[in-house]
Chain A
Amino acid sequence: MRRWTRKLTLVTGVVTAGALVAACGAGSSREASGGEAGGASDVGITEDTVTIGAHFPLTGVAAPGYSEIPTGMKAYFDYVNAQGGVDGRKIEFVVRDDGYNPTNTSQVTNELVLKDEIFAMVGGLGTPTHAGVVDFLNSEKVPDLFVSSGSIQWGDEPDVKPYTFGWQPDYESEGKIIGQYVAENMPDAKVGLFLQDDDLGRDSEKGVRQFIDDQIVAVERYTSGNTDVAPQIAGLQAKGADLVLSFNTPSYTALSQLVAMKLNYQPQWFYANIGSDPTLVGSLLSKFSEGAVDGASPLDGVLTTEYIAGVDSTEDPWVKLWQKVWDEHGENGELTNYRIYGMAKAYAFVQALMAAGPDPTRDGIVEAVEQWDPATPGPELAPFRFTADSHMGIAGMQVVELKGGAGEPLTPVLTTDIGDAPIEEDTSGQADDAPPASGIPEVEPVG
C-alpha cells in the first residue's frame, strides 16, 4: 500500500512538473512575441540564434551543381554572422540530404521541423521533392521561403499555400519571354521543343506557345533518368527544326549536344536558364573537345536567359561581393554560378529577416515578405513579385548569347507574370543597383 502511494506521488510529481514546464514554455513564447526585444520570439529563435534549414540533393544524380547551392548560402550566412548577425542573432543553417528522392524529402523535412525545430525552410530544392512537403510545411505554419525551383505552384495560390514563396523566375514566364524573343527576332525559324517531361517542360511549353504556336514543327519529351536521348533529337532533326528551344537540366544539355554531334545536326540551340550553366556543361563536354567539339567553350553561340549576374561577369558589383564572401568564408573550390545562386538567395532571406523586425515570428516574416518593396536593391536583375495575392519570385530575365562562358545581353531585362500578363521592359533599376559597402542588406522593419 505504502509503496503504491509512493509511486503515485512520484508519477503525479513528474506529470505536474512536466505540465508546469510546458506551461512556462508556452507562456514565455507568447509573452516574447508580444514585445520583449531580443528574446525567443518563436520556434527556432533564441536570444542569439535563428535556426533555419533546407533539403538539398548532396548525393545522387541531381547533386552535380545543385549540391553547391547550400555551400554558397552557408558562406553568406557566415559572412553576416561574422559581422554580428541580424539583430544580434547568428543564423544557423541546417542542410539535410534528400538525394532528390521525394520519400527522403518527407523524412528529412520532418526531422528539420520536429527535431531541429527550424524557424523557416529556406531554399528547399526541387519540384518533385518539395511538392511532397509543401502541404506539411503549410499545415505546421512553417515559413517556406524561396523554394529552389521554377515551378509556378509555389506562388500562384497564396490562399492555399500561405507560407510558401518562390524565388527564381517561373518556367512559364521564362517560356513567354523566350517565345516573344523568337517571334520578334526569328519569325521564319522552324522551332523544335526539347522538353523534360514534368513541370519544367509543361509550364514552359505553355508560355512559349502563347507567342509561337504556329512556328513549332516538333515537340520531343525526354524522361529524366533515361540518358539515351538520340531518338528524341533524331525526331527534331527529322521534322526539320532549325531552332531548338530546350527546357532541361544541365546533364541533358551535355547529352543533347553529344547526340547532335553524332547526328550531324546543327540547329540554333536556345537553352533555358536552368540547363545552360556554361561552366558545368563545359566541364562535362571538355573531355570530348579533342578534335570532336571545337574550341574551349562548347556552348559558344548558344542562346539562353539570365536573372542574376554570373561568375564570369567579374565587373558586376554583386559578383565582386560574392567573390569576397567566398574568399573569406567559402569551403574548398571555386566560386561557381550555383554558389552565387545560393548567396543571392541567402541575401534575400537576410532581407526578409530584417524586415520581420527585432522579434521575428513565423507569421511576421511571411507578412514582411508579402510587403516586399520592389525597389529594395538586390542581386536579382528584375524585382520580386511578392504581394499578398502572389508569392511568385523574380519577375523577369534577359535573353543573352553565350560567348567564352559569359552571357552577352541581346535584350534589356524583361518582366512579366504567369497567364496573359504583358511582357514589359523593366524600369525598376534592379539590374543597375549595387550592394551596400558592408555587403549586408539595409532593410527597415515593416509594419
Chain B
Amino acid sequence: MQQFLTTALTGLTLGMVYAAFALALVLIWRSTRIVNFAQAPMAMITTYVALVVIDAGYSYWIGFAVALVAGLVLGAVVERVVVRPVEGKSEINAVILTLGLFIVIHALAAVIFGSRYRSFPAPFGLRGFQVGDLNLAITGFGIFTIVAVLVVMALLVALFRLTDLGLMMRASAFNAEVARLLGVKVGRMLTLGWALAALVGSLAGLLIAGGSLVHPSYMDSVVVYGFVAAVLGGLDSPAGAVVGGLLLGVSLSFVSGYVGSELVALAALVILMLVLLLRPGGLFSHAAERRV
C-alpha cells in the first residue's frame, strides 16, 4: 500500500513537470505551427540565470522572477534574430534550426556555467508529509509544482479561448497570409508566441530544478517525455498536455518501480506508439476537424 501510494504520488509530481514542458510545446505549436526542440536548453539557460541570481545572495523568488523575464526576452530574441529569416519558408527549416540551437545553447551553457552538477534550492520543504503511519511522498514544493502548472494551463486556455489576442495568435499561426489581410500584425504575434512559450518553458525548468540537481543536460530527458506528453494530448490542447503529462508521469513511475528502471524510456515509446496508432491526432485533438 505504502509503495503503491509513494509510486503514484512521485509519478504525479513528475507528470506535472512533463505537463509544464508539454504546455510550452503546445503554446509554440499553437502560435507558430512549429515544434521547438530548443525549448529544453532555453529553459536550462534561464534556470542557470536564476541560480546565478540566487547564488549572489538574492532570495529564491527574485531568482524565479528574473528567470521568467529572461525566458520571455530570450524567446523574443530567438524568434527575431534566428527564426525570422526562415519564416515563410518550409516549416522543416525552422524545426531543423531549433535542433541546431539545441546544440549551440548546450555548448554555451557548458562554457559559461561549467558542466558539473550543482544543487538548486527550493522555496518550500523537501520532506514528505506524514499522516499517522502513512507517509505521503509529496513535498511542499511538489504541491507548488502542481498548483503552478494548473494555473498556467487555465491561463493558456483563457488566452486562446477568451481573448482577441489569443484569436489573433491562432490566426497568424494557422494562416499567416489571410490573417495579414485581416489586419493582424503577424510578425508581432509570432514574436509574442515565442516569448510566451519560452516563459512557460522557463517555469518548467525551474519546477524541475527545484530541490534537485542541475547540469547543462538536466532537461534533456524532459524534452523527450514532455514531447510525448504533448503528442498524447494532441499538441493543440493545453488540457490535453496536462492530462498527457500526468498519464505519462504516473505510468513511467509504475514501470520504474514495479518492472525495472531500464524500461522507462522504452515504455514511453510504447505509449507514444499506441496513441499514434489508435488515436493519431492525440487523445484530445480537434485538429482532425480542421484538416481539409
Contacts and interface: CB of A to CB of B under 8 A. Distances in A.
A331 interface: no
A197 B257 CA distance: 15
Given A221-B260, A226-B261, A254-B213, A263 B126 contact: no
A402 to B, nearest CB: 19
Interface residues of B, number: 40
Given A232-B256, A234-B6, A264-B135, A288 B122 contact: yes
B158 to A, nearest CB: 32
Interface string A338-358: 000000000000000000000
Given A227-B218, A230-B10, A234-B10, A288 B126 contact: yes
Contact of B257 (A64, A223, A232, A287): A232
B116 interface: yes
A67 to B, nearest CB: 8
Contact of A285 (B116, B119, B139, B221): B119
A353 B107 CA distance: 39
A61 B110 CA distance: 11
A411 B64 CA distance: 48
A351 B75 CA distance: 57
B102 to A, nearest CB: 16
Contacts of A231: 7, 10, 253-254, 256-258, 261
Contacts of A258: 126, 211-212
Interface in A245-267: 251, 254-255, 258, 261-265
B113 to A, nearest CB: 12
Interface in A26-82: 59-61, 63-65, 67
Nearest to A291: B125
Contact of B119 (A225, A237, A264, A286): A286
B119 A288 contact: yes
Given A64-B117, A231-B261, A238 B3 contact: yes
B126 A264 contact: no
Contact of B261 (A223, A264, A283, A286): A223
B56 to A, nearest CB: 14
A262 B121 contact: no
Main secondary structure on B side of the interface with A? mixed
Contacts of B125: 291-292
A222 B265 CA distance: 13
A59 B217 CA distance: 11
Nearest to B142: A262
A421 B213 CA distance: 40
B33 interface: no
Interface in B98-128: 110, 115-122, 125-128
B264 interface: yes
Contacts of A228: 10, 14, 253, 256
Interface in B201-216: 211-213, 215
Interface string B245-281: 0000000011011101110110000000000000000
A284 interface: yes
Given A262-B139, A287-B119, A292-B125, A59 B256 contact: no
Contacts of B120: 287
A195 to B, nearest CB: 11
Given A63-B116, A234-B7, A292-B127, A226 B221 contact: yes
A229 B212 CA distance: 12
Interface in A409-428: none
Interface in B183-234: 211-213, 215, 217-218, 221
B93 interface: no
A237 B256 contact: no
B2 interface: yes
A284 B213 contact: yes
A214 interface: no
B117 A287 contact: no
Given A61-B215, A221-B260, A251-B117, A261 B127 contact: yes
B264 A226 contact: yes
A315 interface: no
A61 B217 contact: yes
A102 interface: no
Contacts of A232: 256-257, 261
Contact of B121 (A227, A229, A287): A287
Contacts of B2: 234, 237-238
Given A231-B257, A232-B261, A291-B125, A284 B117 contact: yes
B90 interface: no
A262 B215 CA distance: 22
Contacts of A67: 116
A192 to B, nearest CB: 13
Contacts of A255: 212-213
Interface string B79-99: 000000000000000000000
B128 A262 contact: yes
B289 to A, nearest CB: 37
A235 B258 CA distance: 8
Given A234-B6, A288-B126, A263 B137 contact: yes
B221 A227 contact: yes
B130 interface: yes
Interface string A113-155: 0000000000000000000000000000000000000000000
18 contacts: A59-B115, A67-B116, A226-B261, A226-B265, A227-B221, A230-B10, A234-B2, A234-B7, A234-B137, A237-B2, A254-B117, A254-B119, A255-B212, A258-B126, A258-B212, A263-B135, A290-B121, A292-B126
Query: Closest 6 interchain pairs by CB?
Result: A231-B257, A238-B3, A287-B119, A64-B116, A230-B10, A234-B6
Given A231-B258, A262-B10, 20 more contacts: A59-B110, A221-B262, A222-B261, A223-B262, A223-B264, A228-B256, A231-B261, A232-B261, A234-B2, A235-B257, A237-B2, A254-B119, A255-B213, A261-B126, A262-B127, A264-B128, A265-B135, A287-B119, A287-B120, A288-B121
